[in-house]
Amino acid sequence: MEKRFVRYYVVITLLGLLAAVALWNYGSLALSAPSMAIGANPVVAVRGSIYDREGRLLAVDTDLYDLSGWRPSLDMRRIGLYSELMADALGGEPSLYLERLMEEDSDFFFLARRISGEAARTLGTALAERSLPGLRFDRVAGRVYPEKDLAAHLVGFVGTENKGLAGAEAAYEKELAADPQSARGGYAYGNSVFLTIDADLQFRLEELCGEAQSAHKAEAVVMVAMNARSGEVMAYVSLPDFNPNEFLAADRSTWLDRVAIYAYEPGSVFKVFTMGAVMTLGGIDEKSSFVCNGAYERVTNSGEQILIKCLGNHGVVNLSKILEYSCNSGAGQASDTVSALDFYAKLREFGFGERSGADLSGESPGLLRAPALWSARSKPTIAMGQEVLVTAIQMAAAATPLANGGILLRPRTLARIVDSGGAPVLNAEPIPVRRVLDERSAKAVLDAMEASVLDSGTGKRARIEDLRMSVKTGTAQMIDPLTRRYSDKDFIASTLALFPSEAPEYIVYAAIIKPMGESIYGGRIAAPLVRDAANIIADLYGTARSNAPSAIHDGRIVLPALGAAAIGERMPDLRGLPKRLLSPLLERRDIIVEIEGDGWVAEQYPLPGEPVAPGSTVRLILR
């Protein structure tokens, strides 16, 4: 036999052997394929939870399942029964499942992805009772946001692989993600993250901002409430928002974080930082004065005439009057007393033109161009809040020197990180960044801001009679993206407040973007919003008011202790418990806990004393 024929038969024989091995493996898989199982991967990775500062649950992992089929193991004689049982357990029409079961593109196929544990158990039981083989449930990680759209932009969301894509979920991906190498008993747990926000205050301010957005027909509303002495962000409002449980169903425009990512010209609120910068640089003091005749006017050495209109003819103005009247002319003239390079450097010290470092993912640095790129009118224009882009978090953080004797604090959204056993991993502390103002200048600007709430001031609608407020309002024209010029209909109305003025504890900054109602001015629509927010904060945290009644007591108050809710073999009476004490129940994996509404538990199912079996559903209704 010739050698070429020998090689031919050898190749044919090898191919035959390979085909036999493949058929043997295929048959083994078909015979051994699981008929139905609810199982888990060798290591189940449980992502760490996210809480507010008081331990209220904002994000938690839960059990979800992928439903797949192995066609060789299906009982094709009863294929219609499969589809009926799936429709009953998962919803939808039986025909949809029947069509997928009858497809012949592959032996392995998915029927449903990321279904709830309750639906998986219901369907699994029904299939087992009827001895229907060929379907399998595999556990996949799932994320649930119990408070839905509350602080959605700060909390963020995860993708299909349970990895953070936005907000704290993305910023703390390494901390939240579970390390499979640390698994015990088949489970690996990530660390838990506590944010600085107060969910109670967040809810109230979101509600307040939502009313303002509706009343003024605005495109968006942002608000930051901050502890002036620590830099902790107490509320982080960006509207419109979305439900992170269903973020893919939301309009993509609602994903935009207008607190930390959206950058815009701030308008006259910026004059606070202008005057502080100029005063610390030695350009002016409390006694310095300028004459406002209705406009800022200057002729450069090259003969260029600069004219910037003012809101009115204010006459002789000093630091206090410039902020009280929001005088463009006075602010522009004050900026002329210092060099462009010094002015730029001091504004950078406030944090403008750089990320604030507020523990956020994707934060914008805004824009503050170097003096080499300025025109002859840039310095007075920047002094009035134009030709500079800021974010809301930058504006709130830049106000901290006014409350801390001139020291800038880094804004913080992270309170602490703990491991799965509750042991501390990191406790965030206040972070002084640098000295921006001397103490005298910081106090002078803070005092001058109080004049804004006088009857003659632009911030009079922010005034609270029994609480001293230091306020500055602003109204900024927006650039029309088509013409690249200032729009005559799109504006941003904003207000900044520190209170109480004698020793500021809180900072509130709010901006109403593109209002289309009766007014577009910050003093008319943003100032009342900040006033209402300040009242809520003062009441919630017990800020001293000048007319507040006082009582004499021994200094001891005894309150009944309320522990976190727990459920054993029988249902306890949870009625009257507040929502914050129910959070631990959402981390249970042996039962399903559904919480509806806000406030305190008014109804519960099962009723007190009834048995609670593994896999059962507990429903709590709050009012």
What share of the chain in percent tops pLDDT 90? 65
Query: For residue 40, is pLDDT > 90?
Result: no
C-alpha to C-alpha distance for 75 and 16, rounded to whole angstroms = 32
Task: Take residue 179 and report the two structure tokens written for it.
Answer: 């390390």
CATH number of the domain to which 59 belongs: 3.90.1310.10
Domain's final residue, options 491, 514, 541:
541
* Same domain, residue pair 432 and 454: yes
pLDDT given for residue 36 in this prediction: 44
DSSP 396-445: HHHTHHHHTTTEEE--B-EEEEE-TTS-EEEE----EEEE-S-HHHHHHH
Contact 63, 587 (CB under 8 A): no
Q: 578-614: string of b/e by CB count within 10 Å (b at 16+)?
A: ebbbbbbbbeeeebbbebeeeeebeebebeeeeebee
C-alpha to C-alpha distance for 37 and 35, rounded to whole angstroms = 7
562 — pLDDT class (breaks 50, 70, 90)? low
Query: For residue 5, is pLDDT > 70?
Result: no
* Same domain, residue pair 120 and 177: yes
C-alpha to C-alpha distance for 261 and 366, rounded to whole angstroms = 8
* Same domain, residue pair 392 and 511: yes
pLDDT tens-digit profile of 217-254?
A: 999 999 999 999 999 999 999 999 999 988 888 999 99
pLDDT tens-digit profile of 303-337?
A: 888 999 998 899 999 999 999 999 999 999 999 99
Residue 568 resides in a domain = no
Residue 288 resides in a domain = yes
Residue 604 resides in a domain = yes
Residue 574 resides in a domain = no
DSSP 8-state assignment for residue 311: S
* Same domain, residue pair 498 and 387: yes
- In terms of average pLDDT, the best of 139-143, 399-403, 611-615 is 399-403
C-alpha to C-alpha distance for 547 and 159, rounded to whole angstroms = 52
Residue 365 resides in a domain = yes
30 — pLDDT class (breaks 50, 70, 90)? very low
Write the single-letter amino acid at 47: R
Task: Take residue 315 and report the two structure tokens written for it.
Answer: 């006459």
Contact 549, 589 (CB under 8 A): no
For helices 340-349 and 271-280, the axis angle rounded to 10 degrees is 120
Residue 244, preceding bond cis, omega within 30 degrees?
no
521 — pLDDT class (breaks 50, 70, 90)? very high
Q: Is the dihedral of CA 377, 488, 321, 526 positive or negative?
A: negative
Please, which residues bridge with residue 409 across strands? 432
Residue 558 resides in a domain = no
Query: For residue 8, is pLDDT > 70?
Result: no
Mean pLDDT, rounded, for 253-281: 97
Domain's final residue, options 195, 229, 248:
195
C-alpha triplet 67, 72, 78: angle, nearest 5°: 75
Lowest model confidence (mean pLDDT) among 64-68, 196-200, 342-346: 64-68
Report which of 394, 390, 345 is spatially closest to residue 371, judged by C-alpha positions: 345
* Same domain, residue pair 97 and 216: no
Q: Is the dihedral of CA 73, 63, 257, 418 positive or negative?
A: negative
* Same domain, residue pair 583 and 438: no
Mean pLDDT, rounded, for 579-600: 80
* Same domain, residue pair 233 and 182: no
For helices 271-280 and 439-450, the axis angle rounded to 10 degrees is 150
* Same domain, residue pair 359 and 442: yes
What share of the chain in percent tops pLDDT 70? 90
- In terms of average pLDDT, the best of 21-25, 454-458, 550-554, 617-621 is 454-458
* Same domain, residue pair 315 and 370: yes
pLDDT given for residue 11 in this prediction: 55
Domain count along the chain:
4
The overall average pLDDT reported for the chain is 89
The residue range of the domain holding 19 is 1-32
* Same domain, residue pair 361 and 230: yes
Lowest model confidence (mean pLDDT) among 67-76, 192-201, 608-617: 608-617
* Same domain, residue pair 236 and 105: no
Query: For residue 550, is pLDDT > 60?
Result: no
Residue 573 resides in a domain = no
pLDDT given for residue 493 in this prediction: 98
Query: For residue 32, is pLDDT > 80?
Result: no
pLDDT given for residue 2 in this prediction: 53
CB atoms closer than 10 angstroms to residue 564: 12
* Same domain, residue pair 300 and 319: yes
Report which of 495, 430, 468 is spatially closest to residue 212, judged by C-alpha positions: 495
Domain's final residue, options 143, 166, 195:
195
Residue 302 resides in a domain = yes
